[in-house]
């Protein structure tokens, strides 16, 4: 049987685990909001119309940060439409997803939902069809205590205290020609810089995210970031990255190696940002916000032009299988392996639209397969990410060349003494023996060993069989002196927790 080896050592560190890495995304798209997180009249709805069954799953998922309200939607959105008495709010056409938007759910509803879910808001601004003035008006409405036109407007809407939103996205994917208000890098960079400058004048402690490339395959990748950051470096704290990985391209080995694509994208944008930092002679290090990532069967989507005007359509409701869950686990491993620079990340999206949580209107909510590696990683990746450099057999892929069969990382929580080891076997046919040297952690013992795998890698969860796929405990795993040895099944995600005291 092929064998991979690694060493866990507290002296080799990447960086602290930022809790913002376990973010998600709620966009006014499909059923993400309506009949997703918000469904007045549902048997499980609370007095605010929030589905409590979904709230329970969000808390179980361990989400820490939620980006709102888009996404492509935000680039043609008037935030004023979503505040005030619901019966007075206008119905609008959403040009991004060719949907009819009632605006029954807006900023204040989202903030009330975020408080109940226990998540930090990440607010996106419309810099597509709007600009600096409208962004400042929203900022004043959201964050100023009172005594001004927009803060008093908020108070008149029944929200006496400011929301205190700290993290703001300066638009969304404005490099993409599909975006309302698509711009060149220079056009966007100037607008983002002026908006950021004004927002920092309002409150220097705000954290701002400049739009990076919408994907790594677009022609302007990296050159877009270089130009945008030349304009904005002084004012922003993050640059965004977006990437989706498609299982439907008839190349399963490359799909299972999606973490290699994310890894290279992070390296490229880190290098680009540091190059600009050197050019502008700044000591500041720009962080990365990977605020859209997931598995998406994108090649099955007919595009926006194929959509018909309707309210809350069933849009991109992909059903995820075991292989998809393993890839999601590997992408989380990649984010942790870059904990020194990736300071925020949002899996897109939270409910129904390429989501870990599915719902039926008036009916149940359940966990998709991809729910499980996210929930376990969010719960147990604590403290410091250890620098783990596995010695692994390799797999040849068409898209990424040779990649290691084993993709792994580990975290060490000094406060509790717990180690969490996360590992993926990318091989579709062969199990893999993993040998981990624990000598720097004398006396370490296994307290939990979970594996997500299945004889049928296409198995999925449904409303009728919501627990068909879930992590299974492996009993009897122990250490042999200073060594942990486990077998990783083909196409599997594994988590092993060890106590060190």
Q: Per-residue pLDDT tens for 338-351?
A: 999 999 999 999 99
First to last CA, the chain: 33
pTM above 0.95, yes or no: yes
pLDDT band at 491 (very low <50, low <70, confident <90, very high): very high
Look at 327-331, 409-413, 477-481 and tell me which has the smallest mean pLDDT. 477-481
pLDDT of residue 371: 98
The gap from C-alpha 382 to its chain's centroid, in whole angstroms, comes to 17
Question: Do residues 69 and 110 make contact, with C-beta atoms less than 8 angstroms apart?
Answer: yes
- Pull the structure tokens for residue 200: 């920092």
**Where does 365-465 show beta strands of DSSP type E?**
365-367, 384-386, 394-397, 401-404, 406-413, 418-425, 432-437, 445-452
Segment 471-486 mean pLDDT: 93
- The pLDDT score that the predictor gives to residue 445 is 95
Mean pLDDT across the chain? 97
Q: What is the dihedral of CA 33, 36, 38, 39, to 10 degrees?
A: 130
Rounded average pLDDT over 80-92: 98
Residues taking part in catalysis: 173, 292
Band (pLDDT 50/70/90 cuts) for residue 86 is: very high
pLDDT of amino acid 231: 98
Q: Give dist(CA 140, CA 295) in Å, integer.
A: 36
Residue 228, pLDDT score: 98
| Entry field: residues in the chain | 501
Q: For residue range 179-233, list pLDDT tens digits in order.
A: 999 999 999 999 999 999 999 999 999 999 999 999 999 999 999 999 999 999 9
Whether residue 250 is predicted with pLDDT greater than 90 in this model: the reply is no
Return the structure tokens found at 273. Answer: 């940002």
Average pLDDT over residues 162-183: 98
pLDDT, position 303: 87
Please say whether the beta carbons of 53 and 137 come within 8 A. no
Distance of alpha carbon 236 from alpha carbon 3, whole angstroms: 45
CA neighbor of 70 nearest in space, from 115, 112, 101, 35:
101
User: How many other CB atoms sit within 10 Å of the CB of residue 36?
Assistant: 26
Exposed, middle or buried: residue 400 (CB in 10 Å: 0-12, 13-18, 19+)? middle
Q: Is 386 helix (H, G, I), strand (E, B) or coil?
A: strand
Q: Quick one: DSSP state of residue 200? A: H
pLDDT over threshold 90, residue 168 = yes
* Cα–Cα dist 422/381, whole Å: 9
Average pLDDT over residues 471-491: 94
**At residue 249, does pLDDT exceed 80?**
no
> Which residues partner with 51 through β-bridges?
45
Pull the structure tokens for residue 217: 């395959």
pLDDT (mean) for 248-256:
91
How does pLDDT run across 353-390, given as a tens digit for each residue? 999 999 999 999 999 999 999 999 999 999 999 999 99
Q: In this predicted structure, what is the pLDDT of residue 304? A: 87
Residues 6+ apart with CB under 8 A from 88: none
> Which tokens is 154 given?
């908020």
User: What's residue 480's pLDDT?
Assistant: 86
Q: What is the pLDDT of residue 497?
A: 98
Please answer whether residues 350 and 357 qualify as being in contact, where contact means their C-beta atoms are separated by less than 8 angstroms. yes
Do the beta carbons of residue 452 and residue 372 sit within 8 Å? yes
Which stretches of 303-367 are DSSP H helices?
322-337
């Amino acid at each position: 049987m092929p064998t991979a080896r690694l060493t866990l050592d507290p002296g080799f560190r990447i960086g602290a685990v930022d809790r913002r890495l376990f973010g998600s995304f709620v966009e006014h798209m499909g059923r993400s909001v309506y009949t997703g997180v918000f469904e007045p009249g549902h048997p499980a709805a609370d007095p605010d119309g929030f589905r409590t069954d979904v709230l329970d799953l969000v808390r179980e998922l361990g989400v820490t940060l939620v980006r709102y309200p888009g996404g492509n939607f935000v680039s043609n959105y008037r935030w004023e439409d979503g505040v005030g008495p619901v019966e007075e709010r206008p119905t609008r056409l959403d040009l991004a997803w060719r949907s009819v938007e009632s605006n029954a759910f807006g900023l204040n509803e989202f903030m009330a939902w975020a408080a109940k879910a226990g998540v930090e808001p990440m607010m996106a601004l419309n810099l597509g069809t709007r600009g600096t003035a409208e962004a400042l008006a929203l900022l004043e409405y959201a964050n100023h205590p009172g005594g001004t036109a927009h803060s008093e407007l908020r108070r008149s809407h029944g929200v006496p205290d400011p929301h205190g939103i700290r993290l703001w996205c300066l638009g969304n994917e404005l490099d993409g020609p599909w975006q309302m208000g698509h711009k060149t890098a220079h056009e966007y960079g100037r607008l983002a810089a002026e908006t950021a400058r004004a927002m920092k004048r309002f409150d220097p402690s705000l954290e701002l995210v400049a739009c990076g490339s919408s994907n790594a395959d677009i022609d302007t990748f990296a050159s877009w970031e270089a130009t945008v950051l030349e304009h904005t470096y002084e004012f922003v704290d993050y640059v965004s990255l977006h990437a989706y990985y498609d299982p439907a391209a008839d190349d399963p080995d490359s799909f299972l190696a999606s973490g290699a694509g994310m890894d290279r994208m992070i390296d490229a944008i880190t290098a680009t940002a540091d190059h600009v930092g050197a050019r502008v002679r700044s000591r500041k290090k720009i962080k990365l916000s990977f605020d859209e990532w997931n598995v998406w069967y994108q090649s099955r989507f007919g595009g926006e032009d194929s959509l018909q005007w309707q309210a809350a359509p069933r849009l991109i409701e992909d059903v995820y299988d075991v292989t998809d869950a393993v890839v999601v686990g590997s992408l989380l491993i990649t984010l942790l392996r870059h904990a020194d620079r990736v300071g925020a990340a949002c899996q897109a999206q939270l409910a129904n639209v390429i989501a870990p949580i599915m719902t039926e209107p008036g009916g149940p909510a359940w966990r998709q397969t991809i729910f499980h590696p996210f929930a376990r990683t969010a719960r147990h990746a604590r403290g410091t990410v250890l620098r783990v450099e596995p010695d692994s057999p390799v797999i040849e892929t068409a898209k990424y060349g040779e990649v290691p069969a084993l993709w792994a990382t580990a975290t060490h929580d000094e406060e509790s003494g717990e180690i969490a080891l996360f590992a993926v076997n990318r091989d579709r046919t062969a199990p893999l023996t993993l040998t981990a040297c624990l000598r720097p952690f004398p006396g370490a013992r296994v307290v939990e060993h979970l594996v997500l795998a299945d004889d049928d890698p296409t198995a999925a969860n449904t409303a009728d069989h919501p627990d068909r796929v879930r992590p299974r405990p492996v009993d009897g795993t122990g250490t042999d002196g200073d060594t942990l040895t486990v077998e990783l099944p083909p196409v599997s995600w594994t988590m092993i927790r060890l106590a060190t005291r």
